Amino acid sequence: MASITLPVLALPHPLILLPTARITLPVHRATGEALLSLVQDSEAQPVIAAVPLSSPDASLYAWGTSARIVRLIRPPARNQKQPYLLSLQGVSRVRIIGHADSQPFQQDGVLARRVEFPDAEGGVPSMESIVKFKAAALKLLALLGKDTTQQSKRDTYRKIADMLEDTADEKLAWMADVLVATVNGEYTDKLDFLSATNADDRLQRATAIFVKQASITEVSKKIAQSVDDSLSKQQKEFFLRQQLSAIQRELANLTRNGVVSPSASAASDVSNHSGQGSELDNEEQAEVEDMADVKAKIEAMAKDSEERKMGVREWRRLKRIPQGSVEHGLEWLTAIPWPASQGNTASISVDTLRDPAFLANARGQLDSDHYGLEKIKKRLIEYLAVVRLKALQADREQALAASQHKDAQSPHADLNLSINTLLPHQNARPSSSSKSQTSTVKGPILLFIGPPGTGKTSLGQSIARSLNRPFQRISLGGVRDEAEIRGHRRTYVGSGPGLIVQALRKAGRPDPVILLDEIDKVGQSNLHGDPAAALLEVLDPEQNHSFNDHYVNVPIDLSQVLFICTSNSLDTIAAPLLDRCEIVQLSGYTYDEKVHIARRFLLPKQITANGLAPEQIELSEDALLTIATMYTREAGVRSLERAIGAVVRYKAVDWAEHIDSSLTSISTDKSKQVALHSSSEHALKEYRRIVETSELEKILGIARWDADERERDERRGVVYGLVVTGMGEGGILPIETLLIPSGTGKLLLTGSLGEVIKESGELALSWVKTHAYELGITQHRSVDPLKVPGEPRDIHLHLPSGAVKKDGPSAGIAMTCAFVSLLTGACVPSDVAMTGEITLRGRVGPVGGIKEKVLGAHRAHIKKLVLPYANRKDVEQDVPPEVRAAMQFVFVRTMEETLEAAFGKGVLGWRRDSMPVLESRL
């Protein structure tokens, strides 16, 4: 046996290099460098011994393979961690001399060792081994070829099989090396094969490997096959279940229609009722019921109507493509209360309207829901009277038309006609298809304008109650997309009908009262269509008998719906909308009215809502007034209701604690077995049911408006004007002015002011400059008060709440008074407020929103109001008498009168003798 010294490379576990095979593996840097120097030192391809590990714990196997270094790739210098790549070509078996098992293997280097080449490499195997070997190898190759899906692999297996057939017997040992290197096998088997030097031995060991491998391949194929089988079984089961549910559905349909034999239906009944499962378990049943419901609704639709045609179309489509559930669109279509469908006639509301006591009942309803609002209630009764008359008239016309129709078919036409005209029209029903007749049942569209919390919504509810119709509220605030009103087309994912159709569905009747809240906040034409235009279509009596919702896609008759709109102010409503409405203006309440509303409506409501009994709490008159004046300052009663709610809740806790403590004292004191009922009497004795004004601070905190009033003192250059906010609330607004030294006579205006109010400020200053001499501000007529020699100044005028936009001419007289006060040094008392437009000639013109402004001033405890003379009638007509009595009103025509009213008689040193001739009266 020849022996030489070869560098030994330990192959990482579980890698084996067999003779004839080629492998590429990464090697450590140190090993790579050692191999590199080997390559550089030798002229031909250097030979090393590639030795596998006998086990993963790094001891070398006794046998290895001599191999040529075919290629060695050095990693780039910048990447120090990357290993070398080594390609080896196996040549022949070698045995390491002095058996290496016990020697530790050096990972990062190449050890030189003596190795010997076995003599018996080669030789001719026995015939038996050859036959077995070939058979096993061919079988395995055939199996592998069948198994693989890759054509290239299949070709390789076939080529090897061909090679095997052609190989001479003496070369079969070499072929065994080729084959074992190609097929998968266990590591230990391959190690064993590596140590087989004798050709016969080698063939036998290879045969064993092939047989084992072939059986493994067969077993795994069987497993895969059985997994496949079970999967298709599941699919089959799923398919059968689908069919089963379809059959069950059909059977249930038959049972409903009474076709299935009683025994069968009884059996299904038993199975339904005896089971304890919840309704959620019985999906099939629910679906069948849904379908039956939809079918019944389509059948109830008026014959030949658009909705029925669409319903039938959709129903057929659904039947053709069963999706397992009622399609969303069809569900909506059938959920709409179509006016002409059976059971949806307006007979309920017509009966209500026929009642001779209808108007009296309506008045009673309005009175029992609302305090005061006399003018508005009167207007609403007129409105209801019109609705009633129109409805009755239409009802009569329809009855007449129906009887004429009958007469035309009857041989006793004349007789019938005379009887019909005599009879009251109790049983007349509107004909389903007569659009022209139903369209006459329309009242005017009401538009409630007023500040928040003044009862707009609750008036709408009262109207619905008195008409005996359902009430629905649609909030239009922030509606920017036309589709929100009209619905999305069905092609959109997640589409649905618009707000109007949704409200109709919720109402469940074709004639509800629909309140369109905040109609002024609807967006105008934009990228998403024109919501305001869609709303116009809804409200227009000429168009709304065929309103088109994109989702439902069938014209819907809205002519029986009673629309009521609300808005906080008139200015922000689009003109075309305003054109279609009848305006009912609601203003704020006086303190007196608020206290009444609180006592009669809000307090009882809050007591019930918070679980107390009326006898358990009482608010003194003074406490209610204090809440209204000191804790809230609003036109409506919403904050007042909230504050009262807070007081009631406080008392509810008080009461509950008291009951609890008295109960525990009774139960712990066992010697005194007092009956339970006496405990509440006992509790009542100690519980203070009256809430006094002094307790309010403890309950509601420090009064919000108290401090504000105290801060309002007389100041030079400060005057109170009157405003109406965008929400329709009236109030006072201080106008502040300041003189800035070393100026150039400029006027600076700040506080988010619009063009009109700025012009009015300039106008006011011009008037004051012109009259500076008469007012004693300057010593000479020709001197500009801001440009007095040696003392030039600027004026700064500011309106607080700088973030709120302000505009309009009505602050004219207040700004003039502020300038006069600033330049003369005289002050306007802090309980005086004013509003009015000023002209260049010093005339005072009328302004709008007088009622809101006066009520706002009253809430702010203003004592004297200076108003344009032309607004006198507004005060007399609109302002409640108790407010008029509580304040002094001065109506002025000119600026001179205004100054006198604002500053007080004789306060300003007016140079009367030098007054210019103001104007000529022609």
Ligand X SMILES: Nc1ncnc2c1ncn2[C@@H]1O[C@H](COP(=O)(O)OP(=O)(O)OP(=O)(O)O)[C@@H](O)[C@H]1O
> Are residues 734 and 860 in contact, defined by beta-carbon separation less than 8 angstroms?
no
Helices (H), 257-373: 262-274, 283-300, 306-320, 328-335, 347-354, 358-369
Helix (H) or strand (E) holding 892: strand 888-892
> What is the SS3 assignment for 818-874?
HHHHHHHCCCCCCCEEECCEECCCCEEECCCCHHHHHHHHHHCCCCEEEEEHHHHHH
Helix orientation angle between 127-147 and 172-182, rounded to the nearest 10 degrees: 30
With CB under 6 A as the contact rule, the residue among 90, 125, 329, 455 that binds ligand X is 455
- Site size toward ligand X (CB under 6 A) is 21
Comparison of 368 and 525: residue with beta carbon closer to ligand X: 368
Interface segment toward ligand X; rule CB under 6 A; list 445-453, 503-511, 688-696, 741-749 = 445-453
The distance of closest approach from Cβ of residue 377 to ligand X in the complex, given in angstroms and rounded to an integer, is: 9
Comparison of 5 and 458: residue with beta carbon closer to ligand X: 458
Alpha carbon distance 715, 694 (integer Å):
32
Q: Tell me: does residue 372 bind ligand X (CB under 6 A).
A: yes
Comparison of 648 and 797: residue with beta carbon closer to ligand X: 648
Strand 791-798, strand 2-10: pairing: unpaired
Q: Pick the catalytic residue: 662, 810, 821, 830?
A: 810
Q: Is 853 designated active site? A: yes
DSSP string, 431-475: -TT-HHHHTT--PPEEEEE--TTSSHHHHHHHHHHHHT--EEEEE
Quote the tokens at residue 895. Answer: 């600026």
Interface segment toward ligand X; rule CB under 6 A; list 256-264, 368-376, 523-531, 675-683 = 368-376
CA angle 868/874/875 to nearest 5° reads 80
**Partners of 619 in the β-ladder:** 691
Q: Tell me: does residue 645 bind ligand X (CB under 6 A).
A: no
Comparison of 435 and 649: residue with beta carbon closer to ligand X: 649
- Give the residue at shortest CB distance from ligand X: 455
What Cα–Cα distance (Å) separates residue 585 from each residue in 124, 590, 640?
A: 119, 16, 21
Quote the tokens at residue 455. Answer: 């009862």
Comparison of 249 and 642: residue with beta carbon closer to ligand X: 642
CB atoms within 10 A of CB 902: 29
**Contacts of ligand X in 497-526 (CB under 6 A):** 517
Residues across the chain? 922
Comparison of 366 and 899: residue with beta carbon closer to ligand X: 366
CA angle 186/190/193 to nearest 5° reads 145
Interface segment toward ligand X; rule CB under 6 A; list 227-235, 634-642, 810-818, 908-916 = 634-642
Comparison of 68 and 521: residue with beta carbon closer to ligand X: 521
The distance of closest approach from Cβ of residue 636 to ligand X in the complex, given in angstroms and rounded to an integer, is: 6
With CB under 6 A as the contact rule, the residue among 295, 638, 658, 689 that binds ligand X is 638
Q: Is 455 one of the annotated binding-site residues?
A: yes
Strand 718-724, strand 832-834: pairing: parallel
The distance of closest approach from Cβ of residue 452 to ligand X in the complex, given in angstroms and rounded to an integer, is: 3
Query: Which residue type sits at 722?
Result: L
Q: Tell me: does residue 601 bind ligand X (CB under 6 A).
A: yes
Quote the tokens at residue 661. Answer: 């403590």
Q: Tell me: does residue 454 bind ligand X (CB under 6 A).
A: yes
Q: Pick the catalytic residue: 377, 651, 769, 853?
A: 853
The distance of closest approach from Cβ of residue 477 to ligand X in the complex, given in angstroms and rounded to an integer, is: 9
Cβ-based neighbours of 256, under 8 Å, separated by 6 or more? 288, 292
The distance of closest approach from Cβ of residue 276 to ligand X in the complex, given in angstroms and rounded to an integer, is: 46
CA angle 389/392/393 to nearest 5° reads 85
> Are residues 666 and 679 in contact, defined by beta-carbon separation less than 8 angstroms?
yes
With CB under 6 A as the contact rule, the residue among 182, 361, 457, 616 that binds ligand X is 457
**437 φ, ψ (degrees, to nearest 5):** -75, -45
Comparison of 470 and 636: residue with beta carbon closer to ligand X: 636
**Contacts of ligand X in 530-569 (CB under 6 A):** 566, 568
With CB under 6 A as the contact rule, the residue among 452, 497, 717, 731 that binds ligand X is 452
Q: Tell me: does residue 456 bind ligand X (CB under 6 A).
A: yes
| Mask for 799-838, x = binds ligand X (CB under 6 A) | ----------------------------------------
Interface segment toward ligand X; rule CB under 6 A; list 241-249, 631-639, 736-744, 842-850 = 631-639
Comparison of 596 and 787: residue with beta carbon closer to ligand X: 596
Comparison of 586 and 768: residue with beta carbon closer to ligand X: 586
Closest listed residue to residue 818, CA positions, set 726, 761, 735, 724: 735
Q: Tell me: does residue 370 bind ligand X (CB under 6 A).
A: yes
Q: Tell me: does residue 761 bind ligand X (CB under 6 A).
A: no
With CB under 6 A as the contact rule, the residue among 42, 410, 418, 458 that binds ligand X is 458
Q: Tell me: does residue 590 bind ligand X (CB under 6 A).
A: no
Helix (H) or strand (E) holding 593: helix 591-597
Burial class (CB in 10 A: 0-12, 13-18, 19+), 890: middle
Q: Tell me: does residue 371 bind ligand X (CB under 6 A).
A: yes
Q: Is 456 one of the annotated binding-site residues?
A: yes
Q: For 4, left (φ over 0), alpha (ψ -120 to 50), or beta?
A: beta
With CB under 6 A as the contact rule, the residue among 453, 510, 785, 856 that binds ligand X is 453
The distance of closest approach from Cβ of residue 553 to ligand X in the complex, given in angstroms and rounded to an integer, is: 33
Q: Is 309 designated active site? A: no
Q: Is 122 one of the annotated binding-site residues?
A: no
> Are residues 670 and 598 in contact, defined by beta-carbon separation less than 8 angstroms?
no
Interface segment toward ligand X; rule CB under 6 A; list 79-87, 185-193, 371-379, 907-915 = 371-379
Q: Is 478 one of the annotated binding-site residues?
A: no
Q: Is 145 one of the annotated binding-site residues?
A: no
The distance of closest approach from Cβ of residue 640 to ligand X in the complex, given in angstroms and rounded to an integer, is: 8
The distance of closest approach from Cβ of residue 517 to ligand X in the complex, given in angstroms and rounded to an integer, is: 6
Quote the tokens at residue 659. Answer: 């009951």
The distance of closest approach from Cβ of residue 695 to ligand X in the complex, given in angstroms and rounded to an integer, is: 24
Q: Is 452 one of the annotated binding-site residues?
A: yes
Interface segment toward ligand X; rule CB under 6 A; list 531-539, 630-638, 774-782, 901-909 = 630-638
Cβ-based neighbours of 246, under 8 Å, separated by 6 or more? 322
Interface segment toward ligand X; rule CB under 6 A; list 198-206, 290-298, 367-375, 428-436 = 367-375
Alpha carbon distance 309, 294 (integer Å):
14
CA angle 94/95/97 to nearest 5° reads 135
Comparison of 300 and 583: residue with beta carbon closer to ligand X: 583
With CB under 6 A as the contact rule, the residue among 637, 765, 777, 811 that binds ligand X is 637
> Are residues 163 and 119 in contact, defined by beta-carbon separation less than 8 angstroms?
no
Q: Tell me: does residue 471 bind ligand X (CB under 6 A).
A: no
Active site residues: 810, 853
Interface ranges with ligand X (CB under 6 A): 370-373, 450, 452-458, 517, 566, 568, 597, 601, 636-638, 641
Known binding residues are: 450-457
Known binding residues for ATP are: 450-457
